[in-house]
């Protein structure tokens, strides 16, 4: 910068409050400290914000000499220019005296949605301010200062409250803990380990090609479950670390999150249930805690499971109590004996009975699926009429 220019920098006001959002006023000062007088043509300011995607695809067919392909794309969200000081009239320059000088500036961010600042594997969303110092007969000097923009995502908004699949609540804010309700039953002969994790998936788009990067950002594990044993998670907490909120409004970069509950089985593929979630910036603010409401909702929604899967299934009613004498009088073909069936299947019949133990009952119908001979005749007569 030379001996005359001791310091050249940018200071932003209220930057420590957590960044800016769409429509906010960005203000600050450009600082100059001089050891002696300095002739200046102009001092200008530029603000810019854009999303950029950039990666190289080195994949090529075996034996070919294909040139690696570079994929690039850019979308501009902010473009602002202003002059802080310039020579008046036809004068070529103005003089700045030795010492410290402050040049205030301010500009407003666009009112429309701004994509959250992000720095990823193959792209980024960045916003910055540039101060440009022009002097006669000297190359211009610049200094940059990056600032953070956050797109506010209120998880209380109706569109996010309706965004749910299997999860009772699928929108959370950074710093919150996700309560997980699950039950693991080990029917294998191996020792298993239940786990849960939050995954971040970055998707980049350029020249009609996509690039994806996936990483785990948080995880939690339970206790080992022995063969024939079970483990229940009644609201096991998985805390969301400080991460970039979900980016769903950028046409070339998407940042999405998912909650995965899975079982690690040694020597085998893990069983996984993965569900999408949205990570916002404004936490859930209902009357009463999210955890307590989810607990009560979970208890209510899962109460049917206790009825559908009893520990001791009830014995079926007596056949003679539910079948009429007319049905008893019907002639049925003789059924094969159990020994013969076990020989045909190659295993005891009990193994096949267990397969249908928890099957749902038949669908109710007004038409008897097994009509008597009289009912069949009546039905044929009605069709003929």
Could you tell me if 23 and 2 are in contact, meaning their C-beta atoms sit under 8 angstroms apart?
A: no
Same domain for 301 and 329? no
Same domain for 45 and 121? yes
pLDDT at position 201, please? Answer: 97
Same domain for 218 and 103? no
Ranges 69-78, 146-155, 308-317: which has the least confidence: 308-317
pLDDT at position 246, please? Answer: 95
Residue 48 and residue 25: Cα distance in Å, rounded?
14
Ranges 133-137, 151-155, 225-229: which has the least confidence: 151-155
Residue 35 and residue 12: Cα distance in Å, rounded?
24
What single-letter DSSP state applies at residue 296? Answer: H
Higher pLDDT, 367 or 68: 68
Rounded alpha-carbon distances, angstroms, from residue 144 to 45, 138, 355: 10, 19, 68
Residue 113 and residue 343: Cα distance in Å, rounded?
70
* pLDDT tier for residue 157 given thresholds of 50, 70 and 90: confident
Instruction: Determine what percent of the chain is predicted with pLDDT higher than 70.
Output: 67
Residue 303, classed as helix, strand or coil, is: helix
Domain region containing 362: 323-384
Flag whether 153 is in a domain: no
pLDDT at position 127, please? Answer: 97
pLDDT at position 186, please? Answer: 92
* pLDDT tier for residue 154 given thresholds of 50, 70 and 90: confident
Phi, psi for 321 (deg, rounded to 5)? -80, -20
Burial class (CB in 10 A: 0-12, 13-18, 19+), 365: exposed
Residue 253, classed as helix, strand or coil, is: strand
Same domain for 109 and 30? yes
**Cα dihedral across residues 56, 59, 60, 63: positive or negative:** positive
The tally of domains found in the chain comes to 3
Rounded alpha-carbon distances, angstroms, from residue 372 to 88, 227, 365, 381: 107, 49, 16, 14
Flag whether 91 is in a domain: yes
What single-letter DSSP state applies at residue 189? Answer: S
Domain boundary (81, 115, 147) is at 147
Residue 320 pLDDT greater than 60, yes or no: no
Per-chain mean pLDDT for the chain: 79
Residue 181 and residue 231: Cα distance in Å, rounded?
11
Averaged pLDDT for residues 224-241: 94
Averaged pLDDT for residues 117-132: 97
Domain boundary (91, 112, 147) is at 147
pLDDT at position 58, please? Answer: 80
Flag whether 317 is in a domain: no
Domain boundary (267, 283, 308) is at 308
CATH of the domain at 91: 2.60.40.640
Residue 92 and residue 103: Cα distance in Å, rounded?
20
**Cα dihedral across residues 322, 359, 373, 335: positive or negative:** negative
Tokens 């786990």 belong to residue: 195
pLDDT at position 117, please? Answer: 96
Residue 127 and residue 48: Cα distance in Å, rounded?
6
Copy the structure tokens of residue 258: 């998912």
Copy the structure tokens of residue 171: 């929108």
Flag whether 313 is in a domain: no
Residue 364 pLDDT greater than 80, yes or no: no
pLDDT at position 349, please? Answer: 47
Ranges 42-56, 66-80, 128-142, 318-332: which has the least confidence: 318-332
pLDDT at position 283, please? Answer: 79
Same domain for 163 and 296? yes
């Amino acid at each position: 910068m030379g001996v005359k220019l001791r310091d050249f920098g940018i200071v932003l006001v209220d930057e420590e409050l957590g960044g800016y959002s769409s429509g906010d006023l960005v203000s600050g000062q450009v600082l100059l400290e001089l050891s002696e007088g300095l002739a200046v043509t102009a001092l200008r300011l530029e603000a810019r914000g854009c999303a950029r995607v950039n990666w190289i695809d080195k994949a090529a067919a075996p034996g070919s000499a294909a040139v690696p392909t570079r994929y690039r794309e850019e979308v501009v969200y902010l473009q602002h220019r202003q002059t802080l000081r310039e020579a008046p009239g036809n004068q070529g320059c103005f003089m700045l005296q030795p010492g410290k000088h402050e040049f205030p500036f301010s500009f407003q961010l666009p009112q429309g949605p701004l994509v959250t600042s992000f720095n990823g594997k193959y792209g980024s969303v960045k916003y910055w301010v540039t101060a440009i110092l022009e002097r006669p007969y000297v190359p211009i000097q610049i200094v940059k200062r990056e600032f953070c923009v956050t797109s506010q995502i209120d998880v209380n908004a109706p569109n996010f409250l309706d965004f749910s699949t299997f999860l009772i609540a699928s929108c959370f804010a950074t710093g919150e803990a996700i309560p997980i309700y699950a039950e693991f039953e080990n029917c294998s002969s191996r020792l298993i380990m239940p786990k849960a994790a939050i995954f971040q998936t970055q998707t980049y788009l350029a020249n009609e090609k996509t690039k994806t990067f996936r990483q785990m950002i948080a995880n939690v594990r339970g206790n080992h479950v022995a063969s024939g044993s079970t483990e229940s998670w009644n609201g096991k907490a998985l805390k969301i670390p400080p991460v970039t909120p979900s980016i769903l409004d950028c046409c070339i970069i998407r940042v999405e999150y998912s909650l995965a509950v899975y079982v690690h089985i040694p020597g085998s593929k893990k069983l996984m249930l993965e569900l999408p979630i949205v990570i916002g910036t404004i936490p859930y603010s209902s009357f009463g805690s999210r955890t307590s409401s989810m607990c009560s909702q979970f208890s209510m929604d899962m109460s049917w499971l206790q009825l559908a899967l009893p520990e001791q299934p009830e014995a079926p009613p007596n056949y003679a109590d539910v079948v009429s004498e007319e049905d008893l009088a019907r002639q049925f073909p003789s059924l094969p004996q159990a020994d013969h069936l076990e020989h045909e299947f190659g295993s005891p019949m009990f193994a096949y009975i267990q397969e249908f133990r928890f099957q749902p009952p038949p669908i109710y119908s007004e038409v008897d699926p097994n009509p008597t001979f009289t009912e069949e005749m009546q039905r044929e007569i009605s069709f003929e009429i």
